[in-house]
Structure 1
């Protein structure tokens, strides 16, 4: 496993590779969160706006702000029709550029395992959320095999190809998420496991999609033809097509939510 930094610089490519997965799990997460309308939201690690768009459509927010370290991703988010009223800026999850109690809800979608110090990221979300507000997150179950491309990564490593990994994969464990929220003093902490599935038109659809992945795209392009052919054969075994030629498989994420204490 490689700890090489994973860079997200292609908003359109990310949309096909991960944005679709993000929307599937994000919809289930928002159903579970059941947030009331009219809140001031902060999306930490908003990326290309795939989740932010759903947040606007499902939660009728009063306002939405998003931060992300990638200007390329933010540029894609800004052109989404549903996000014309949202505000986006470059930002660090461990040092949020906002004053205390500036929001009613903060969410970290599929991001906490990328934060070098997850506890600091949670503390920063708690700092900028007002008393009684909600702090929440969801993350692919990286350790438990829930990442959508876990089988691909495993086969690449079996062939001796280094695959970059997020710096804080252990933070995606459901028990660790609960402990992080409790340790920051949040009330009414709850966790929830989410399973989603995605269908690709055929194996070629899947195969071309993975070449857009920020964690594997460059490695796939650099593999010798015979090694790449071997990987393709291995993945065809992992992902058999149904009678129509389509490929469907599951991914799993862990979610957590808590409320900021109210002082009397």
Structure 2
């Protein structure tokens, strides 16, 4: 995963908490029998691993991530003897590296941070029978990011290409199906998962953008303070706030699964 991701607490406040909502629906959609061995690639803070443990009744779950900070956070957050976490990048995935073959391989919100996506998916296919992933719909459905990037593009037009909707153009059904097909999968399915993202105030929405982790927050931190303020004011003027100041948005993820 990108070096922009390293601290679990900051990730959780920005998108990790919403990932947990998506993870629950994703695991239910995979609908796998109990007693299987799972691998969570790019496990991050353990959101998807937790959903697997809670809903899928696995015999074991191995979570791997290239970030020592994330792996350390996950080890402290997931207290379940069926789970173990290791530092391992997607480029080094192999049956031996994860302690043997697994039944199900999953990857939540990580595929866009892997440089060679087809290679990573091929490695996942070689390790497990069923592979499932999900990514945010950066271009259209991830509203908390869309409001930010659209305001940033209006304030700094020359930086439009920094928008995650542009840098991750495959995060849609056609893009995911193409990657899975290139990696040799058959019986490929996709679906949308939409979850609510509710903020009690504008500050609750904006503060996670100040953490510096992830493409949006990292970009914001790189700007002059006056430019940051201009983006903040524009975003605040556009967000649909309720009379009590709360902001109700939604986040859409696209999920895909395939078998060898």
TM-score (normalised: structure 1): 0.86
2:150 alignment partner in structure 1: 154
1:181 Cα shift?
Answer: 2.1
Give the 3 Å change call, closer, same or farther, for CA 167–80 of structure 1 in structure 2.
farther
How many residue pairs end up in the alignment? 253
Check the 8 A contact 2:94/2:127 in 1, yes or no: no
Counterparts in 2 of 1:87 and 1:60: CA distance versus 1, 3 Å: same
Shift in Å at residue 193 of structure 1? 1.4
- The whole-number CA distance in structure 2 between the counterparts of 1:167 and 1:225 is 25
Greater fraction of residues in helix: 2
SS of 1:242's equivalent? Answer: coil
Q: 2:120: which partner in 1?
A: 121
Which residue does 2:57 correspond to in 1?
60
For residues 35 and 167 of structure 1, do their structure 2 counterparts lie closer, same or farther at Cα, with a shift above 3 Å needed?
A: farther
Q: Is the 8 A contact 1:114 1:168 kept in 2?
A: no
Note if contact 2:173-2:190 (Cα within 8 Å) is conserved in structure 1: yes
CA distance in 1, matches of 2:152, 2:81: 40
RMSD: 2.4
Residue 199 of structure 1 aligns to a residue whose secondary structure is strand
1:139 to 2:138 alignment: no
Matched, 1:203 2:202: yes
Alignment-derived partner of residue 25 in structure 2: 28
Displaced runs of 4 or more, over 4 A: 161-168
**Paired residues of 1:107 and 1:137 also in contact (CA < 8 A):** yes
Q: Is residue 231 from structure 1 mapped to residue 227 from structure 2 by the alignment?
A: no
Query: Equivalents in 2 of 1:39, 1:217: separation in Å?
Result: 38
Alpha-carbon contact 1:43-1:108 (below 8 Å) kept:
yes
The 1:102/1:254 distance shift into structure 2, 3 A limit, reads same
Call closer, same or farther: CA 1:168–1:119 in 2, change over 3 Å.
farther
Indicate the residue corresponding to 2:37 in structure 1: 40
Q: For 2:131 and 2:216, how far apart are their aligned partners in 1?
A: 31
Spell out, residue by residue over 1:208-227, the C-alpha distance to the aligned partner (whole angstroms, 9 max, x if none). Answer: 12212512434434544432
Shift of 1:252: 1.4
Structure-2 change in CA distance of 1:226 and 1:185 (3 Å): closer
Report the CA distance shift for 1:83/1:147 in structure 2 as closer, same or farther (over 3 A). Answer: farther
For 2:196 and 2:12, the matched residues in 1 are separated by 16
SS in 2 for 1:244: coil
Structure 1 regions of 5+ residues with no counterpart?
none
Matches within 5 A, 1:1-264: 6-99=3-96, 102-129=101-128, 133-146=129-142, 148-160=144-156, 162=159, 163=162, 169-214=168-213, 215-260=215-260
Hey, what's the Cα distance between the residues in 2 that align with 1:33 and 1:204? 36
Give secondary structure in 2 for the equivalent of 1:185: coil
